[in-house]
Amino acid sequence: MKYFVLIFSFFSISYINAQSSDDCISNLSIFAEYYKVKNYESAYEPWMKVRKECPKINAAIYSYGKRMLEHFINSYDGDVKIAYQNDLLSLYDEWLINFPSLKGRKIIGEIISNKAQAMLDNNLASNSEIYNTFNSAYAQDRSSFDDPKPLYNYFKTYYELYKSGEGDVTLSLVFDKYEDISERFEEVIDGYSKQLDILLKKEESGQSLSSREKSNKRAFGINSNASTIYLKNLNAIIAKESTCENLIPLYRKNLEENKQNPIWLNRAASRMDSKDCSDDPLFVELVELLHNLNPSANSAYYLGLLNDKKGNESEALKFYNESIELETDNIKKARILYKIASKYKKTNQFSKSRNYARRALEYQPSLGSAYLLISNLYASSANNCGNTQFEKRAVYWLAAKEARKAANIDASVRKTAIRTAESYEGRAPSKTDIFTEGNAGKTIKFNCWIGLSVTVPSL
C-alpha cells in the first residue's frame, strides 16, 4: 500500500460541487471527525448517508470508506464479514463512477487494480476472474496502476493460471507478461528515484529541505523500497522458469517471427544476459539483429559485453560509451553505468569499476547499490593497500564509509548497507590497536589504485 497523507479540506471549492447540501456537508464533517479518531462504528452511519445522497461531494468517501470497510472485514466473522467484503467491491465500482480522476489525474487503473486485490485478499472470485480484473486495470489505465502489491499479484495470478493449465497460457506468454510488468515496476521505481534525486541534490548544494520535502523524501524512499521488494519477489517467481535450458530453445523457436521486432529482441537479449546465457551463439544473433534493426543504448551495451567476452577491451569500451551516449534518461543511463561497473568488478578491474560507479551516481544520486559496489571494491583491496597491517585494515574505514552513504540515501539497500558497514567497521583497527600504534588523528594515504586517504579516529 502506498505511503501517503490525505489532506481533508471541508471548505475546498474543488471538492464540493453543486450536489452538496447542508445535510451532506454536515454528515461529511461528522463522518470525517469520527474517522480521524478511528471511531469507525460511529462514522459508519453518516458515511453511508453521504455515500448514498451525495456520492460526488468528496473523494474521501471512497478512500476513507475503503479503510473503514477493511477494518470491519478484519473485525467480524460469518455473514457480517461477507456483507462488508461484498460492499467493499461495490464501493470500488462507485468510486470508479464518481471519482475516476483526482486532482486532474486519472486513477482508473489504481481503483480497478485495488478492487482486484480486494477480490484476491478476501477470496471473492476465481483466479481467472481476478486476473481478468487486474488485466482490465492495466489495459484501461497503465499509468495509475503503480501500487506494487497489486502489480505483483497481476503477474502471480497469470503465472498460476499457467501452472494450473487453465486457459491458453503458454510459457512464452508468461515471459512476455513478466517482461511487461517488470518494465512497469522499473518505471515506477525510476519515477520515485528521480523525485528523490532532486531532493538529494538540493541537500548536497547546502540547501535545507522544507517539512513537506522531508516528508516527501521519506515517502519516496518507502514507496521505492516496497516496489523493489515486490519486483524481487516477481523475479523469484520467474527464476523457476527462466533457466538457460528453457530460454534458449524457446527464443530460438520464436526468433524467426520476431526478427523485425525490436521489443522482443531486446527483451530476449536482456533475459539471456541476466540469466548468464550470453555465451550461447543465440545471444550473439539476437544482439546483432537488434543493433542492426534499432541501434539503442541496450544493443550497444550488449555489443560491449560480447567484445568483453572476446577479450576485445578497446572495442568493448567503445560500445559501452556508445551505450551511455545513446541513452537520454538519467536513471537508465545510471543503470547502464552501474552494469558496466559491475562487469569490471567481476574481472578485478577495480579502478575502472569505481569510475563507472561514480559516473552512475552523477546521474542518479539515490543509487545506493553504486556506493555499496565501491564499498566492496575497497574491502576487496584491503590486503593490497597499505604498508603495515594497521594500514591494510584501515582500508575498511573507507569501505564502511561508502556503505554508510548507501544506507543513508537508498531504502532498498539500507539493511544490507548497514550490515556491510558494521562488518567492515569490525575489521578496521580497534581502539586498542589505535592506542597501541599511537596513530590517533594520523592521516593514512593509500598509494594503491584507491588513491585516497583516511584519518584515524581520535580516542
Task: For the chain, give the mean pLDDT.
Answer: 92
Closest CA to 260 of 294, 297, 300: 294
Residues 42, 35 contacting (CB under 8 angstroms): no
Integer Cα distance of 153 and 235 in angstroms: 13
Rounded to an integer, the average pLDDT of 92-101 is 97
The distance from CA 125 to its chain's CA centroid, rounded to whole angstroms, is 29
Cβ–Cβ under 8 Å, residues 336 and 323:
yes
DSSP per-residue codes, 301-349:
HHHHHHHHHHT-HHHHHHHHHHHHHH---HHHHHHHHHHHHHHHHHTT-
Model pLDDT, residue 7 = 34
Are 124 and 86 in contact by the 8 Å Cβ rule? The answer is yes
pLDDT interval class at 25 (50, 70, 90):
very high
Q: Cα separation of 114 and 151, whole Å? A: 10
Average pLDDT for residues 300-315, to the nearest whole number?
90
User: Computed from CA positions of residues 339, 340, 344, 350, in that sequence, does the dihedral angle turn out positive or negative?
Assistant: negative
pLDDT at 13: 32
- Contact call for residues 56 and 78 (beta carbons, < 8 A): no
Q: What is the pLDDT of residues 123-156, one digit of tens each?
A: 999 999 999 999 999 999 999 999 999 999 999 9
Question: What integer pLDDT is reported at residue 294 of this predicted model?
Answer: 87
Q: Would you state the pLDDT for residue 334?
A: 95
pLDDT tens for each residue of 265-291: 999 999 999 888 989 999 999 999 999
pLDDT at site 19: 46
For the chain, helix, strand, coil in percent to 5 are 75, 0, 25
pLDDT for 249: 95
* Residue that is written with C-alpha cell 474543488 in the block: 14
Confidence of residue 20 (pLDDT cuts 50, 70, 90): low
Residues 6+ apart with CB under 8 A from 355: 341
Percent of the chain past pLDDT 70, that is, above it, reads: 96
Helix (H) or strand (E) holding 42: helix 40-53
Eight-state DSSP code of residue 106: E
Rounded average pLDDT over 164-192: 94
Q: What is the pLDDT of residue 191?
A: 95
Return the half-sphere exposure (C-beta side, CA atoms, 13 A cut-off) of residue 113. Answer: 25
Is the pLDDT score of 16 beyond 80? no
- Alpha-carbon distance of 354 to 371, in angstroms, equals 9
